[in-house]
Amino acid sequence: MSNYDALSDLRMEYDVGTLRREDMLDDPVAQWQAWFDHAMANDVYEPNAMVVATVDEGGWPHARNVLVKGVDERGFAFYTNYESAKAAELESAAKASLLFSWLPVHRQVRIVGTVTRVSAEESDAYFASRPRGSQIGAWASPQSDLIAEPAVLERAVAEVAQRFEGQDVTRPPFWGGYRVAPVMFEFWQGRPSRLHDRLRYVWRSGSWDIERIAP
Ligand SMILES: Cc1cc2nc3c(=O)[nH]c(=O)nc-3n(C[C@H](O)[C@H](O)[C@H](O)COP(=O)(O)O)c2cc1C
């Protein structure tokens, strides 16, 4: 099967770095920041893209990319529609997994955490910083709902643009941020012969334990 041949041709040898416990910062958010900076410096495409995985009420997992828009000691914030499928999943089970795939530097970071909404003030401030077209799009798109045809969205955009003509676009009440407060991080560095380095930070009784796990 030609498709299969193409996949086996893609076999990679991971040989750009190692992960030693002594090289890791005690604070996993600072460690994430160091790896993010490294990904940026190495021209990784969209290093701020992360997969957010949620679980629906039937136990089905759902994963999709979003852009991380804030990282600090409280966690990892992203912005979305509060009436979207992902929002429904987060409101019913306030836990998520995040995945950063920095493949050109043979790294991934996995995070698991609890989820809360970003404050209205913080969401307002971020919304105000967005380009006007994105602000109008946030109002116009009933994210994750069925739409009959693209023209429905185009009409909605035109209506919103007209409604806010000559004034600032305010944040829709159904749009804002979620923040994932991590309880676990895993830093993965690809190594030759699939003997990859994996170091996991686990939040246990008030501090981060760092442990090595098998590839
Ligand atoms: C690189 C990339 C970045 C994205 N960033 C966001 C984002 O920040 N917020 C968002 O709501 N959707 C974002 N999306 C779209 C989502 O992947 C998804 O299609 C949308 O949020 C609807 O998901 P849901 O129906 O599971 O709620 C992004 C998609 C890609 C490919």
Give 134 Cα–ligand 1 centroid separation in angstroms.
Answer: 13
User: With 90 as the cut, is the pLDDT of residue 11 above it?
Assistant: no
Our CA dihedral for 38, 20, 113, 214, rounded to 10 degrees, sits at 120
The set of catalytic residues is: 194
C-alpha 211/C-alpha 215 separation (Å) is 13
Confirm whether 126 is domain-assigned: yes
Confirm whether 169 is domain-assigned: no
CA 56 to chain centre: 18
The per-residue pLDDT for range 136-190, each reduced to its tens digit, is 999 999 999 999 999 999 999 999 999 999 999 999 999 999 999 999 999 999 9
Confirm whether 135 is domain-assigned: no
Confirm whether 2 is domain-assigned: no
Confirm whether 105 is domain-assigned: yes
Host domain of residue 190 = 19-130+175-212
Atom of ligand 1 nearest to the CA of 81: 11
Atom of ligand 1 nearest to the CA of 84: 27
Question: Residue 50: which residues within 8 A CB-CB, separation 6 or more?
Answer: 65, 66, 67, 68, 76, 78, 98, 99, 100
The whole-number pLDDT of residue 2 equals: 56
In total, how many domains does the chain have?
1
Q: Is 80 in the pocket of ligand 1 (CB under 6 A)?
A: yes
Q: Is 145 in the pocket of ligand 1 (CB under 6 A)?
A: no
